[in-house]
Structure 1
Amino acid sequence: MAAMCMSPCLLLPSAMPPRAAITKGSTVSATAGTLARRPLRAVLVALNALLVALLAAGFLAAPQASAREEAAPTATLTEITNFGTNPSNLQMYLYVPESVTENPAIVVAVHYCTGSGPAMYSGTEYASLADQYGFIVVYPSVTRSSKCFDVASPQALRRGGGSDPVGIKSMVDWTVDAYDADTSRIFATGISSGAMMTNVLLGDYPDVFAAGAAFSGVPFGCFATTDGSEWNSACAQGTVTRTAQEWGDIARAAYPGYTGPRPRMQVWHGTEDDVLRYPNFGEEIKQWTNVRGVSQTPAATDTPQSGWTRTRYGGTGDQAPVEAISLQGVGHNLYAWGMAARVLTFFGLDSDGPAPQPPAGPCKVSVTTNAWSTGLTASVTITNTGTSTLSGWQLGFTLPTGQTITNGWNATYAPGSGAVTATNASYNATLAPNASVSIGYQATHTGNSAAPGAFTLNGTACTTG
């Protein structure tokens, strides 16, 4: 890459004669090599004009000091055009929080069939979590009539093949360049068609994505077709089964010769999924445990929530190589508010502490706790210190490590640990100026019984005390 001038500067072409060569009565060589004798005054006037032109060009070529601020407005969904190679005419939408960190992480959030980037933005909480943790969210959006991502064509199933994955990779590259993003912290997540694309992205670009989270998807290559069809009925019905080695080989074939590290994968599936049937869940586990080179026997199994079974492979912690969550009795539309916080835990984006928060808004929160050996209760008072009535509220906070909410009152809480959102009950949704509401919860702990240290109300930071 050519050197860039980081402040207004002058770049002189190599054909410019050295200053020492300009003397009274001398001749000046033209850049074309033609000799022209001119009076000294005329020469100086010509040189001055050339310098002015070059100086103007230098100003025009210099990057703006506030390039990050100009890349996209903060705290709003913005469509980015001309982001790079885009063979299938995808649209790119970007969310940059006001509190974006230096060298931020990137989360690519991929929509479902019939969906769009804006629908994914409004229907999931990745943007609000970005406000809390300072990462950037990219929302790809399909323009073809089906509004489904291409996860079936031969072009989609190989690196640089010329379909949707190429456009999404361009979106990532654009964001990395614009915000000096951390290339070791780029992640993908998606729902249904977006879950299938998450599998595809991790197969095509294992050197780009550190991890993925797929809600109601299928393995990489399961939907493959050669006749131009976007739909593979056998895969959707769960009748495509292969060995772990076969699935792993299919994923590895997308980038022949690559020997570097492979992404971690989190998969979610409902046992009653009637669109992409439940056997696909097991096939995904086969594929990604093989890709990661770990045993198909779980290293840990637990029940993080009623009706859920979570298995971890190759490790027992929150960032195991493969994590799988099965939801008993749940259909295809399993994604629910609160699940994105668990995705961030798997990605490791909630472990570095929150990004600097915006100035405290018109709200105040006070909290007291009463703890015993393995449990605690917390009483929380929320006061509207603003001038406008709130018609519905959500209180956000992060529980200390080791705490899990087991029940609560005067609000609903999701998820039970990590980044929690408390949502109003029907009877206390209205909060007038200077009015307060009291809520509370009971939680278990493993030694740290402290209260949360920071709160947001409807996404705005509150004062505490």
Structure 2
Amino acid sequence: MKVNRSLLLAVAAAALTVVGLVLPATPPAAAASLTEVTSFGNNPGGMRMHVYVPDSRPTNPGIVVAMHGCGGSGPGFYASSEFAGLADRYGFIVIYPSAQQQAGFGKCFDTWSDAAKRRGGGSDPVSIVSMVNYVQQRYGGDPNRVYATGSSSGGMMTNHMLALYPDVFKAGAAFMGVPFQCFANAADYPPGSSKCTGGGGANRTPQQWGDAVRQAYPGYTGPRPRIQLWHGTADNLVPYALLQEEIEQWTNVFGLSQTPTSTDTPQANWTRRRYADSSGAIPVEAYSIQGAGHSLPAGGMAAQAIAFFGLDRASGPTTTTTTTTEPGTEPCRVTSTVNAWNAGLTESITITNTGTTALNGWSLDFTLPGGQTITSGWNATYSPSSGQVTARNAAHNATLAPNASVEIGFQATHTGDTAEPAAFALNGMACATA
């Protein structure tokens, strides 16, 4: 059951219009689906790969690598972010890697090992480049339009990939990241206990930060990928101060001043600083999100990243492929009901295991609309309280048999948007919604 569905669609359309993007009110009759690729080439990181290929796309579509945060997964980021919907609109392909390296917050992208810091050295960066090569060969992906983005650990890896493979990636958008070479080694990871995110180890000069990037690919003299940086001013996990360190790194790489050439407010609570070169091009721009914690990207930010990449513009002839998905093949189904009042709401969620195997322990990933913050919950634990949320089973409902359901829910405050999440993923796999 949906609450005020027509009103919610109108609100969503209005919100997207603010950033210059209008999506159709109804989905296409035949929708693409997330697909796992089990053999994509050299994979020293032992990573999993999922790809989203829109039904309508140019002959040579652009490619976006979209990377999750620690403890997440590719399918989870697919379900909890807006990149797939934008891919439907603009016809680019999205790669969703799943990290397999264990760190203090679960599985994270390797930005700490010596192998990962060397071009061609191994680990996750080599695996990600293999995924890009696979999409170029399998789907005709345009090698001149390859981009990276990610949240938290994925934002850190975005900086990483732009430093190591400037000849592969044309631009990146890093949400809540850290500069390349911030983590000294595995012992200096994860965030919260490291010198990098603890403050002292990250206070370097612009020249030192820039040298780290230049040393990642010695002798490279080609163009550098542009970068868009995002951080919440109230982020206590990956401190907001690290945004300035990222700015110093990349402005130094481009030979720019650390003083922005312009500052504006694209939306309420968004402060954007731009760093233009002598030609007027903008290789570096940074967004400070007032009051936001460790919860990015929020609504509309993915669209801003896609616009920065230039993927919001048509490119070449379009081909259409019909993808047929049999009803009921998703491994799970989720229904949600919202009851809202003034500045509060409750949301009841029913999760059904539509697969053939019992789940012994489960987690449900979803993204709350902007302005919603969970204050309490039942039958699950919820973390964080806003943005991209993971609900994990309680002790009494950890086992979910085939065709069995579990009901969970939470109470939250809101600032006007009372919509339920648009998508859910159970144990990293996208769920059908009803």
Q: TM-score range by the shorter chain?
A: 0.5 to 0.7
Residue in 1 that maps onto 2:84: 127
**Change beyond 3 A, Cα 1:179–1:74:** farther
For residues 165-192 of structure 1, give each alpha carbon's deviation from its aligned partner in whole angstroms, at most 9, with x where no partner exists.
0000000011111122111100000000
Residue in 2 that maps onto 1:175: 135
**Is the Cα contact below 8 Å between 2:299 and 2:370 reproduced in 1?**
no
CA distance in 2 between counterparts of 1:114 and 1:96 reads 25
Kindly indicate whether residue 53 of structure 2 is the aligned counterpart of residue 91 of structure 1: no
CA distance in 2 between counterparts of 1:143 and 1:177 reads 25
Residue in 1 that maps onto 2:35: 78
**Is the Cα contact below 8 Å between 1:219 and 1:280 reproduced in 2?**
yes
For residues 136-155 of structure 1, give each alpha carbon's deviation from its aligned partner in whole angstroms, at most 9, with x where no partner exists.
00000012342111001111
**Is the Cα contact below 8 Å between 2:171 and 2:226 reproduced in 1?**
yes
- Counterpart AA for 1:214: A
Residue in 2 that maps onto 1:314: 276
Q: Which runs of 4+ in 1 moved over 2 A?
A: 143-146, 226-232, 315-319, 351-359, 424-427
Paired residues for 1:168-207 under 5 Å: 168-207=128-167
Q: Which moved more, 1:102-111 or 1:291-300?
A: 291-300
- Counterpart AA for 1:328: Q
Task: Choose 1 or 2 for highest CA Rg.
Answer: 1
Kindly indicate whether residue 187 of structure 2 is the aligned counterpart of residue 223 of structure 1: no
**Is the Cα contact below 8 Å between 2:57 and 2:320 reproduced in 1?**
no
CA distance in 1 between counterparts of 2:243 and 2:234 reads 12
Q: Per-residue deviation at 1:305?
A: 1.4
Higher relative contact order (CA 8 A, sep 6+): 2
**Change beyond 3 A, Cα 1:97–1:226:** closer
User: Of 237, 240, 245, which aligns to 1:283?
Assistant: 245
**Change beyond 3 A, Cα 1:229–1:214:** closer
- Counterpart AA for 2:184: A
User: Of 98, 110, 118, which aligns to 2:67?
Assistant: 110
**Is the Cα contact below 8 Å between 1:111 and 1:117 reproduced in 2?**
yes
CA distance in 1 between counterparts of 2:177 and 2:267 reads 21
Count of residues in Structure 1 that have an aligned counterpart in Structure 2 = 296
Kindly indicate whether residue 202 of structure 2 is the aligned counterpart of residue 245 of structure 1: no
- Counterpart AA for 1:82: S
* TM-score normalised per structure 1: 0.59
User: Of 212, 217, 233, which aligns to 1:271?
Assistant: 233
For residues 245-271 of structure 1, give each alpha carbon's deviation from its aligned partner in whole angstroms, at most 9, with x where no partner exists.
110110111111111110000000111
CA distance in 1 between counterparts of 2:177 and 2:417 reads 33
For residues 1-32 of structure 1, give each alpha carbon's deviation from its aligned partner in whole angstroms, at most 9, with x where no partner exists.
xxxxxxxxxxxxxxxxxxxxxxxxxxxxxxxx
**Is the Cα contact below 8 Å between 2:58 and 2:315 reproduced in 1?**
no
**Percent identity over paired residues:** 54
CA distance in 2 between counterparts of 1:270 and 1:426 reads 22
Q: Per-residue deviation at 1:294?
A: 1.8
**Is the Cα contact below 8 Å between 1:153 and 1:230 reproduced in 2?**
no
* TM-score normalised per structure 2: 0.64
CA distance in 2 between counterparts of 1:318 and 1:259 reads 21
CA distance in 2 between counterparts of 1:317 and 1:342 reads 22
**Is the Cα contact below 8 Å between 1:153 and 1:228 reproduced in 2?**
no
**Is the Cα contact below 8 Å between 1:133 and 1:350 reproduced in 2?**
yes
Instruction: Structure 1: give runs of 5+ residues left out of the alignment.
Output: 1-72, 360-390, 393-411, 415-423, 428-465
User: Of 258, 269, 274, which aligns to 1:296?
Assistant: 258
For residues 203-231 of structure 1, give each alpha carbon's deviation from its aligned partner in whole angstroms, at most 9, with x where no partner exists.
11010000000010100001131658555
CA distance in 2 between counterparts of 1:243 and 1:192 reads 23
- Counterpart AA for 2:83: Y
CA distance in 1 between counterparts of 2:159 and 2:47 reads 18
CA distance in 2 between counterparts of 1:175 and 1:298 reads 36
CA distance in 2 between counterparts of 1:337 and 1:319 reads 26
**Is the Cα contact below 8 Å between 2:177 and 2:238 reproduced in 1?**
yes
CA distance in 2 between counterparts of 1:285 and 1:202 reads 14
Q: Per-residue deviation at 1:237?
A: 2.1
Kindly indicate whether residue 313 of structure 2 is the aligned counterpart of residue 351 of structure 1: yes
